[in-house]
């Protein structure tokens, strides 16, 4: 088994997921900036030219960060990061999708329409990027209101994949020099607690 990864938001999700479970998997770093995801060999594994990629011992391939996390959740069920009961699994999936669609997604779109690296992959639109950043700000304010019930993590009383998706959003925030407003007291409390976790701290952009 081998995990192909790099310092990207989606590979961060898998790396943190594995770290929280205490799983060690052989990894091979891919030089994204040097075109490592666009070689014929890599495109054989993932025709989209994206990371992460998990290659199983028999040669089968899994891509997409959440799909890879689900695979490891079934192999190593403790601690549960995707839920125990049917309801809990549904609730965590709900919150993970919310974090993807309303927070991680707009920020990622803004980055794709801003960073020079994506210029040959996306027809960049600065106005769209600005609109996505405004949507991102509104989403954090919405999340702050949702956390008014006092729960310590996004989906309840323990860390789940929904928080890990939030970590990926914080990773992009750092890359874009974006900070969360101080008046969002509940999300700032969550951010402070999340950033202190060893699974994340050493993987942030300024951790060198």
Give the per-residue pLDDT at 112. Answer: 86
Please give the domain boundaries of the chain with CATH numbers for all domains. Answer: 2-75 (3.40.30.10), 86-199 (1.20.1050.10)
pLDDT for residue 205: 64
pLDDT tens, residue order, the chain (208 aa):
999 999 899 999 999 999 999 999 999 999 998 999 999 999 999 999 999 999 999 999 999 999 999 999 999 999 999 999 999 999 999 999 999 999 999 988 888 898 888 888 888 999 998 999 899 899 999 999 999 999 999 999 999 999 999 999 999 999 888 999 999 999 999 999 999 999 998 777 654 3
The tokens for 204 are 């942030």
Q: What is the spatial distance between Cα 35 and Cα 10, in angstroms, rounded to a whole number?
A: 17
User: What does the DSSP 8-state code read for residue 153?
Assistant: B
| Alpha-helical segments (H) within the chain | 9-21, 40-45, 65-75, 86-99, 105-112, 126-146, 161-175, 185-195, 198-201
pTM: 0.92
Integer angstrom CA distances of residue 111 from 7, 34, 72, 122, 129:
15, 19, 29, 11, 7
Report cis status (omega within 30 of 0) of the bond before 79.
yes
């Amino acid at each position: 088994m081998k995990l192909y990864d790099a310092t990207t938001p989606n590979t961060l999700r898998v790396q943190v997921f594995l770290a929280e479970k205490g799983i060690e998997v052989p990894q091979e770093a891919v030089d994204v900036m040097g075109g490592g995801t666009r070689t014929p060999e890599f495109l054989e594994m993932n025709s989209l030219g994206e990371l992460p990629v998990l290659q199983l011992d028999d040669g089968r391939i899994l891509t997409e960060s959440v799909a890879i996390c689900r695979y490891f959740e079934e192999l190593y069920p403790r601690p549960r990061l995707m839920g125990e009961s049917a309801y809990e699994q549904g609730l965590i999936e709900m919150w993970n999708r919310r974090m993807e669609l309303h927070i991680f997604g707009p920020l990622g779109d803004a980055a794709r329409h801003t960073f020079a690296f994506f210029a040959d992959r996306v027809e960049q639109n600065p106005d769209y990027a600005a609109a996505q950043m405004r949507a991102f700000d509104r989403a954090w304010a919405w999340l702050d209101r949702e956390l008014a019930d006092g729960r310590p993590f996004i989906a309840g009383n323990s860390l789940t994949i929904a928080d890990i998706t939030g970590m990926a959003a914080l990773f992009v925030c750092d890359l874009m020099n974006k900070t969360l407003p101080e008046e969002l007291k509940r999300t700032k409390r969550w951010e402070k607690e999340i950033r202190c976790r060893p699974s994340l701290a050493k993987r942030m952009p300024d951790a060198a």
